[in-house]
Structure 1
Amino acid sequence: MSLSKDLQAFYLQCTCSRSSRRFCTYKIIPLVFLLCLCLILAVLILHLTVVLEAEESSNNMKEAIGEVETEKKDEDAGNIEEVIKLESLKDEAKKVFDNRPPELVNNRDCQVHNFVFIKCMKCATETMGTILRRYALKNKLSVLLPRGINIYLGWPYMMEPSDYRPSSSSSGNRYYNCLIEHAIYNASVMKSLFPHQTRFISIIREPWSHFKSTFHYFNMQKLAHIVSDTPLSTYLQDIDTYEKIYKSPEAASHRYCIPDGFSVTKNLMSHCLGMKTGFPEGTADISKNTRAVQDFLNWTENEFALVMIAEYFHESLILLKRMMCWTMKDIIYKRVNSAKYQYEENDGDRAIHERWSRADYQLYNFFNESFWEKVIYQGKTFNQEVQAFTKIQNAVNVFCNFSVATGKIEPMFNMTKTVLTIPTTKFSLGFTFTAEECELLNSDLLSALKEQHEEHMKYEDKDPPKRTC
C-alpha cells in the first residue's frame, strides 16, 4: 500500500512544475537503466536455463543410445569374437595353404617332401601310414626308421638315438625327409633331425569312439579279467581296479607292446602329441589342469601345420593334398586295421569316460574347431574336390576289389581287368591305376622302406632297446 502511495506522489511531483519535471527526469534515468539491466539479466538467465536443459537432454539421449549399443555389443560379442578369431586363423592358414589354382596342383616343383607324421594310436593312423609310406618309397625319401625289426620309434616312451637308424639322405647330411612310424612328439629332438621347412602333421579321433576302439584292439576285457555281458560298462564302473590289473606286470606277457604302468584308455591321444600325462612314473601330469592343457593345445597348434580328423577322412586328405601340393593319386588308400565290434552301453558311460580322459576331449574339441576353420578358408571349391576324390577312391575300391559290394563306378572312369583310367579334372591331371598298384596298397611297406634304406646306407644295427616294439 505504501509503495502505491509513493508512486502516486512521485507522479504528481513530476507533473507539477517545470522544475519538478526536470528533477524527475534526473531521477528516472537511473531507474530506466536499472530496469534494462534487470531485463538483460533475466534474458541471460533464461537462455542459460534452456542451454542447460538441452545439454542434459542430449546427455540423457547419449546415455540411452550408449545403453542400447552396449546391449547390442553384449548380444553380438560372441559373434564378433568368433569373426575376429576366424579372420586371424585365416591369416595363419595362408602361411600353410597356398590355395593354388587347381591346374598347378600337379606341379612337382611345389611339392613338400619333408614331413613328420605323429601317429595317435587307433586314429586311422595305419591307413594314413600306408599313404605316407607309399609316397616316401616312390620318391625315394630318407625316412627316420626303427632299428632292427622294431616297428615303433620308442613309443610310448620319448624317442632316443638308439631307437632309429641313421639318415640315408643322398646329400650325405644328417637330416631326414620324413617320419611315419609311432613316436611321441618331441619338438626339440625332432626339429634337430629335419630341415627347417618340415611340416608336422597328425590325426585324432572323437574320444568316445576312440576309447571303444582301443578297448577292443588291446583286448581290455580279457587282460583285465572282466567277466560281464556288458564289459565296457563294467570297466567304466570300476576303472581304477581294472586299470591296475591291465597295467600290472602280471599281465605284461599278454599285452602287445604296452609297458607296465601305461594306460591305453586315458588321454592316449594327448600323450602321443607330447602332453605330460604322468608316464613314465615320476613324469609330471598336467591332464587335470584345464588351463595347463589349454596352454599346451595353443602351443601344439603353432607346432603342427595340420591335425586331421578321422571322422572326416576325405576332407582331411584333401587338406593334406593342398597343403603338400600332392596329387590325387598320392592320397589313394586302402583302409586297414578296421575292425567290427559292438558294445552295449549304459546311460552315463560316456560321461564317466569324459571325466576319466578329460584332456583328450579338450584336445578333440580344440582341433576339431581348428580343422573346420581351415576348411572354411579353402573356399567353395573344397567340397567339390572332396566329392571328386570320393568318386576316384570308390572307383579304386571297386577296381582293386577293396569294396565289400561289387558296386558300379562313374561313367567318367574307364576300367579293364588290369588298368583303371582316371580322366583329367580341374583338380587333378589324368592318371592310371594298375593292378600292381593295388597290390602295393596291400603290402607291408615298412619292410620295403627298411630294405630301401639298407640299399643306400650300411650301418651296424646294434640291438635296439627292449622297452618297446
Structure 2
Amino acid sequence: MPSLYMLYLKGRRHKTFWGVSIFVMVTILMYQQLHTNACERSQSVIRDWNIISVGDGEESQYNNFSLISDSFLASRRQFMKEEVRHVAFLKVHKTGSSTVTSIIQRFGWERRLNLILPNSSPNLISQNESITDTNILHINKEETFDMICNHVIYNRETFQKYLPEDTVYIGIVRDPFDQFVSSLYYYKYRWSVPYLARLPTTYSIKHLLENPNQYEPKVLQESFTKSRMSVDFGLPRELFYTTDRNTILPYLRKLRSEFKLVMIKEYFDESLVLLRRILNWNIRDILYIRKNTSKYVPMKSFRDRYLHKQHSFLDYCLYNFFVRIFWRQVRQQGEDFHAEVSYFRQMRHAVEDFCVDVEKNSAKRTKVFEAKENEFHSNIIVNSDYCELLALDEVEFSNRLKWRQFPHLRPFGNRKRINRKGWQ
C-alpha cells in the first residue's frame, strides 16, 4: 500500500488510475476480512465428531442402539418436543422419493412401528389406485397402522380409513421436465415399459412429445410420463384436460390444507431439515445415502421443454404452487435454519465416509461415530448396524419390515435368520 501511494504522488498525470487501484485493493482486503470472519462464525456451530473403538463388553450396547431405550427418548424429549410417529409419506415417482422412503422405513424399523405394506409386491401397493383391503397386508384388529411410504395413489378418505387421525401427511415434487426425463429413461431402459420401449433409442424425448397420441396410454394411471406427479397426488381426472388456473387452484389449495409439508427435490437437504423440524425428529433420523439414482445423458432441447409444458400442464401448476408454499415455510423457520442445513450436509458426508470405511474394512466394525449434543440435536451415535440400515434399498427394507410384521411370509431360506440381532 505505501509503495502504491508513492507511485501515485510521483505520477499525478495518472492519479485517476492510481486512485481506482487503491480503492480496489482496499475493497478486496475488507472483503477478505469479512469473509474470514463469516467462515469463523459458520464453523462455530460444528462440534466434535469422534470415531470411537469399543471393547467386546461395550459392543453389544452400541449395536443395540437402534432399539431406542426409554431413557434415551426421555432425555431427547427434554431437548425437543415429542417426536411424531404417525406419518403418511406420498411416494411420488422419480422425485427422490426412494431416499425419503428409506428414511421413513428406518425410523419405523427402529421404533417397531406398524407400516402399511403391499400385499403382492415388495415395494408397490398400487400404481393406479389408492389403498384397498386387497392391496395391503392386514395386522391384528387390536393393533393400528402408524406409517405408509410405498407407492400408492393419494386419496384422503382412504388414507384416513387406515391411519390414525393425528397422522402428518408429507409429499414431494420435482421440476416437471426433469421428473419426466427421469421417468422416461428409467421406465424405458430399466423396466422396459411397453409404450416407452417402442420409442426410438435416439431422441426419445422429442419423439414422445411430438407424437403423444401415438405413444401415451389412454388410461392416465398407466402413464409414467404425462403429469405423473398429479396422478400420484390423486387430482381429479378433469383437471388433466384444462389449462384454466381458476379451475385447478381450488384443488391445489385443498392439498395444501391436507399436507403438512411437500418437499422439493431440488432443495432436498433443506426439505429434510424442514421435515425433521415438523416431525420433531433427530438429525440422526434423516441421515441418508441416495437411493435409486441413475446416470444418463438425455438428448433434450429447449423446444422439448416448451412441448412438455403443454403435455403436462397440471404438473407445472402443482410444482410451482408447492415451491411457493415451501419457501414460505422456510422463511418462517428463523435465522438458524440455513446453519442447520449446512451442519446436516457436513454430518451426512462424514457419516457416509465413516460407513464406507467400515464396509471396506471389517476390522473397523467395532468403531462408532459419535456426535455430541449441540444446538441442533441430542447425542448421536452411528455404528456398523446403523450403516447397514442406511445402505438398504427400499425393496430390501420393505422385505425386512414385512417379515418382521408378518413372520409367516418369510421365505423358508430366510427363516434361519429369525434370531438375528435386530430382527426380533
1:317 counterpart = 2:272: yes
The alpha-carbon distance between structure 1 residues 180 and 211, as it changes in their structure 2 partners (threshold 3 A), is same
- Where do 1:255-294 residues align within 5 Å? 262-277=222-237, 285=240, 288-294=243-249
Q: Deviation at 1:166?
A: 1.8
- SS of residue in 1 equivalent to 2:169: strand
- AA matched with 1:335: R
Q: Deviation at 1:164?
A: 1.1
The alpha-carbon distance between structure 1 residues 104 and 384, as it changes in their structure 2 partners (threshold 3 A), is farther
1:127-152 deviation per Cα after TM superposition (whole angstroms, max 9, x unaligned):
11110000001111111111144532
1:148-188 deviation per Cα after TM superposition (whole angstroms, max 9, x unaligned):
4453222222321111122358xx24x31111111111111
CA contact (8 A) 2:365 2:384 kept: no
- Where do 1:138-153 residues align within 5 Å? 138-153=110-125
Q: Deviation at 1:417?
A: 7.1
Distance, in Å, in 2 between the alignment partners of 1:192 and 1:161 is 10
- SS of residue in 1 equivalent to 2:302: coil
1:197 maps to: 166
After TM superposition, the structure 1 stretch with the greater mean CA deviation from structure 2, 176-185 or 369-378, is: 176-185
Q: Which of 331, 356, 362 pairs up with 1:401?
A: 356
The alpha-carbon distance between structure 1 residues 305 and 286, as it changes in their structure 2 partners (threshold 3 A), is farther
The alpha-carbon distance between structure 1 residues 358 and 167, as it changes in their structure 2 partners (threshold 3 A), is same
The alpha-carbon distance between structure 1 residues 186 and 354, as it changes in their structure 2 partners (threshold 3 A), is same
Q: Deviation at 1:319?
A: 0.6
2:87 maps to: 115
1:239 counterpart = 2:204: no
Q: Which of 178, 195, 199 pairs up with 2:147?
A: 178
- SS of residue in 2 equivalent to 1:233: helix
- SS of residue in 2 equivalent to 1:307: strand
2:250 maps to: 295
CA contact (8 A) 1:151 1:181 kept: yes
The alpha-carbon distance between structure 1 residues 214 and 106, as it changes in their structure 2 partners (threshold 3 A), is farther
1:373 counterpart = 2:345: no
- SS of residue in 2 equivalent to 1:164: coil
2:127 maps to: 155
Q: Determine which structure has more spread, i.e. the larger CA radius of gyration.
A: 1
- SS of residue in 2 equivalent to 1:348: helix
The alpha-carbon distance between structure 1 residues 158 and 286, as it changes in their structure 2 partners (threshold 3 A), is farther
The alpha-carbon distance between structure 1 residues 230 and 457, as it changes in their structure 2 partners (threshold 3 A), is closer
Q: Deviation at 1:215?
A: 0.8
Q: Deviation at 1:434?
A: 1.2
Aligned length: 325
- Percentage identity across paired residues of the two chains: 28
The alpha-carbon distance between structure 1 residues 312 and 105, as it changes in their structure 2 partners (threshold 3 A), is farther
Q: Deviation at 1:104?
A: 6.6
1:284-325 deviation per Cα after TM superposition (whole angstroms, max 9, x unaligned):
855544322211100000000110001111111111111111
Distance, in Å, in 1 between the alignment partners of 2:151 and 2:242 is 21
- AA matched with 1:151: N
CA contact (8 A) 2:124 2:150 kept: yes
In structure 2, the gaps of 5 or more residues are 1-74, 411-424
1:450 maps to: 402
Q: Deviation at 1:430?
A: 2.3
- Where do 1:37-436 residues align within 5 Å? 107=79, 110-168=82-140, 172-173=142-143, 175-219=144-188, 223-227=196-200, 229-243=202-216, 247=217, 262-277=222-237, 285=240, 288-401=243-356, 418-436=367-385
The alpha-carbon distance between structure 1 residues 159 and 126, as it changes in their structure 2 partners (threshold 3 A), is same
CA contact (8 A) 1:214 1:265 kept: yes
CA contact (8 A) 1:106 1:327 kept: no
- SS of residue in 2 equivalent to 1:158: coil
Q: Deviation at 1:260?
A: 9.2
In structure 1, the gaps of 5 or more residues are 1-102, 249-258, 279-283, 407-414, 459-469
CA contact (8 A) 2:220 2:226 kept: no
1:34 maps to: none
RMSD (Å), alpha carbons: 2.9
The alpha-carbon distance between structure 1 residues 456 and 308, as it changes in their structure 2 partners (threshold 3 A), is farther
The alpha-carbon distance between structure 1 residues 354 and 386, as it changes in their structure 2 partners (threshold 3 A), is same
Larger RCO of the pair (alpha carbons < 8 Å, separation 6+): 2
Distance, in Å, in 1 between the alignment partners of 2:138 and 2:288 is 29
Distance, in Å, in 1 between the alignment partners of 2:230 and 2:268 is 20
